[in-house]
Chain A
Amino acid sequence: MSKGFLKSSIGKKMVMGLTGLFLISFLAVHCFVNALIFFDQTGELFNQGAHFMGTNWIIRAMEVVLFAGLLTHIFQSLILTLENKKARPVGYAKIDGAANSRWYSRSMGLLGTLLLLFLIMHIYHFWTPSRLGGIANIKPLEEITYSGNVVYHNLYAEMINVFHNPVAVVLYVLGCISLAYHLLHGFQSAFQTIGLNHKKYTPAIKTLGAVFAILVPLIFASMPVYLYIAYK
Chain B
Amino acid sequence: MGSGNGQMLNLTLKVWRQKNGKAKGSFETHQVSGISTDMSFLEMFDVLNEKLIHEGKEPIAFDHDCREGICGMCSMYINGRPHGPKGGITTCQLHMRSFKNGDTIIVEPWRSAAFPVIKDLVVDRSAFDRIIASGGYVSVNTGNAKDANNILIPKTAADAAFDAAACIGCGACVAACKNASAMLFVSAKVSQLALLPQGQVERKERVLKMVSQMDEEGFGNCTNTGACEAECPKGISLENIARMNREFLGAELTTAKK
- List residues of chain A with CB under 8 Å of any chain B CB: 1-5, 8-14, 80, 83-84, 86-97, 99-102, 105-106, 108, 185, 188-189, 192-197, 199
Name the distance in Å between B142's Cβ and chain A's nearest Cβ: 33
Q: Is the CB of B246 within 8 A of A189?
A: no
- Chain A residues with Cβ under 8 A from B245's Cβ? 10, 13-14, 192-195
* A12, A80, A101 — most chain B CB neighbours (10 Å): A101
How far, in angstroms, from A91 to B77 measured CA to CA in the complex?
12
How far, in angstroms, from A3 to B252 measured CA to CA in the complex?
10
**9 A-B pairs in the complex with CB atoms less than 8 angstroms apart:** A9-B219, A9-B220, A10-B211, A88-B111, A93-B108, A94-B79, A96-B80, A102-B225, A197-B242
B112, B219, B225, B255: the one within 8 Å of A101 (CB): B225
Interface string of B75-87 (1 = CB under 8 A from A): 0010111000100
B79, B221, B226, B257: the one within 8 Å of A9 (CB): B221
How far, in angstroms, from A96 to B178 measured CA to CA in the complex?
11
B106, B108, B181, B255: the one within 8 Å of A87 (CB): B181
The residue of chain A having its C-beta at the shortest distance from the C-beta of B117 within the complex is A90
A83, A92, A106, A194: the one within 8 Å of B220 (CB): A83
A4, A84, A93: the one within 8 Å of B179 (CB): A84
B101-116 CB contacts (< 8 Å) to partner A: 106, 108, 111-114
Interface string of B220-239 (1 = CB under 8 A from A): 11111111001100000011
A10, A97, A189: the one within 8 Å of B223 (CB): A189
Number of interface residues of B (CB under 8 A): 49
Evaluate whether A1 and B108 lie within 8 angstroms (CB atoms) in the complex, with A87-B180, A195-B243 already known. no
Q: Is the CB of A9 within 8 A of B211?
A: yes
Q: Is the CB of A94 within 8 A of B80?
A: yes
Q: Is the CB of B112 within 8 A of A88?
A: yes
- List residues of chain B with CB under 8 Å of any chain A CB: 14, 27, 77, 79-81, 85, 106, 108, 111-114, 176, 178-181, 183, 211-212, 214-215, 218-227, 230-231, 238-239, 241-246, 248-249, 252-253, 255, 257
Q: Is the CB of B220 within 8 A of A84?
A: yes
Evaluate whether A84 and B212 lie within 8 angstroms (CB atoms) in the complex, with A2-B255, A193-B245, A197-B242 already known. no
A9, A99, A195: the one within 8 Å of B246 (CB): A195
Q: Is the CB of B113 within 8 A of A99?
A: no
How far, in angstroms, from A3 to B238 measured CA to CA in the complex?
27
- Chain A residues with Cβ under 8 A from B244's Cβ? 10
Name the distance in Å between A53's Cβ and chain B's nearest Cβ: 33
Evaluate whether A96 and B81 lie within 8 angstroms (CB atoms) in the complex, with A13-B221, A87-B218, A91-B111 already known. yes
The residue of chain B having its C-beta at the shortest distance from the C-beta of A108 within the complex is B223
